[in-house]
Amino acid sequence: MTFEEVKEQDNTYFMPTYGRFSAALDRGKNATAWDVEGKEYIDFTSGIGVNALGWGDEQWAAAVAAQAGRMQHMSNLYYSPVSAALAEKLCKAAGYARVFLGNSGAEANECAIKLARKYGTETHGEGHDEIVTLVNSFHGRTVTTLAATGQDGFHQYFMPFTEGFVYAEPALESVKAAAGPNTCAVMVEFVQGEGGVLPLDPGFVQALAAFCAERDILLIADEVQTGVGRTGTLYCCEQYGVKPDVLTSAKGLGGGLPVGACLCTERLGAVLSKGMHGSTFGANPVVCAGALQVLERVAQPGFLKTVREKGAYLRRGLEKLPEIGEVRGMGLMLGAALKKGAAAEAAAACVEKGLLVLTAKTLLRFLPPLTITYEELDKGLAILAEVLKNL
């Protein structure tokens, strides 16, 4: 099929919920893709932080195919050796006691919210169910996780939203002012991706963790985008020197298959008991086989070192471009402010020239596969330089 044929079919049958770029991708290898007409693209997006091992990784694909041929689904009414293996590996690698597996970051955050509210109610009494989130945060697109999201632009059309969320600026005094007698948790992203690639101040995070511990308020880390090696450590909280009570993960964990994980410490391990939560496709064996492959590679110290090195290389390359102002972020999660032109316009022009990039508010956002090569980084930076020069 030609691009125009794919576009017409797509526009005819899909609900128009996405603003697509003018490319119909057909196949890929690591951080290089080709569309239906053979045009080549360098990928600085990894499917919005999902393809941790890039496209077409042979070990990952073999593990997924082998499990699909063995048993593709079984439901959570039975024990599964592959999902049990993933649960152990993820908990040990991340340093947590228990995990719930779902299908997405939004589901992982829903689980964290339910866990926090049940803990608050059981431990401190009825009504102890309020959660503080930060301005500029993004926690998902369900009615509840939209309510948790601290951006007014997302609070439209779908009223009434779930109650029980209040918003604070990323400053301790603001959080203290927002936290009342019924606060059970504070939920944060250590780098606010959708909010503009904004890393939280380390001093604030340290003080917040101490405040939460003092008040027995659970600290929930939304690491849906920052986790699984994206910022240079397995989870971003390691770089802030804090241990959240609850940590959510998704995106890169499955390597391209849908998965969400809600991890918790030992004292919270039995809060959600039988019948309190569930997911039909959560802990799907095929997905778990893929996630095991991701963790076996990404959790290695040597692999994480290469992510930090590539992130520094990409940052230096971006900072050399005269059309770019501030570059912020961590590891291979970077945002760049443009001195002229709109980010959306630049992103569309990049696609035309063969580079896939993202935006975050007024910034260009870069989330390349963790396995991207330096040759692919150089190709992408060269295309970006050309686009920005002519913008």
Report yes or no on whether pTM surpasses 0.95. yes
Cβ atoms of 276 and 116 closer than 8 Å: no
How many whole angstroms separate alpha carbon 141 and alpha carbon 318?
31
- Grouping H, G, I as helix, E, B as strand and the rest as coil, residue 126 is coil
Cβ atoms of 246 and 222 closer than 8 Å: no
Q: How confident is the model at residue 220 (pLDDT cuts 50, 70, 90)?
A: very high
Percentage of the chain exceeding pLDDT 90: 99
DSSP letter at 166 equals: E
Residue 112 burial by Cβ neighbours in a 10 Å radius (0-12, 13-18, 19+): buried
The 10s digit of each residue's pLDDT in 334-357 is 999 999 999 999 999 999 999 999
Whether residue 258 is preceded by a cis peptide bond, meaning omega within 30 degrees of 0, is: no
The 10s digit of each residue's pLDDT in 282-295 is 999 999 999 999 99
Q: Write down the pLDDT at residue 93.
A: 98
What mean pLDDT comes out for the span 183-207? Answer: 97
Q: Write down the pLDDT at residue 223.
A: 98
| Cβ partners under 8 Å of residue 236, min gap 6 | 190, 191, 221, 223, 226, 227, 230, 330
What mean pLDDT comes out for the span 177-200? Answer: 97
Q: Write down the pLDDT at residue 118.
A: 98
Distances (CA, A) of 255 to 46, 59, 108, 252, 369: 10, 11, 17, 5, 10
| Cβ partners under 8 Å of residue 375, min gap 6 | none
Other C-beta atoms within 10 Å of 115: how many?
Answer: 26
Q: Write down the pLDDT at residue 254.
A: 98
What mean pLDDT comes out for the span 186-212? Answer: 97
User: What does residue 219 show for φ and ψ, rounded to 5 degrees?
Assistant: -100, 115
Q: Write down the pLDDT at residue 181.
A: 96
Q: Write down the pLDDT at residue 335.
A: 98
CA atoms within 13 A on the CB side of 320: 11
Q: Write down the pLDDT at residue 8.
A: 97
The 10s digit of each residue's pLDDT in 40-81 is 999 999 999 999 999 999 999 999 999 999 999 999 999 999
How many whole angstroms separate alpha carbon 287 and alpha carbon 267?
28
| Cβ partners under 8 Å of residue 31, min gap 6 | 42, 43, 44, 46, 54, 55, 368, 369, 371, 372, 373, 376, 380
Q: Look up tokens 């779908």; give the residue.
A: 158
Q: Write down the pLDDT at residue 375.
A: 98
The 10s digit of each residue's pLDDT in 294-343 is 999 999 999 999 999 999 999 999 999 999 999 999 999 999 999 999 99
DSSP letter at 138 equals: -
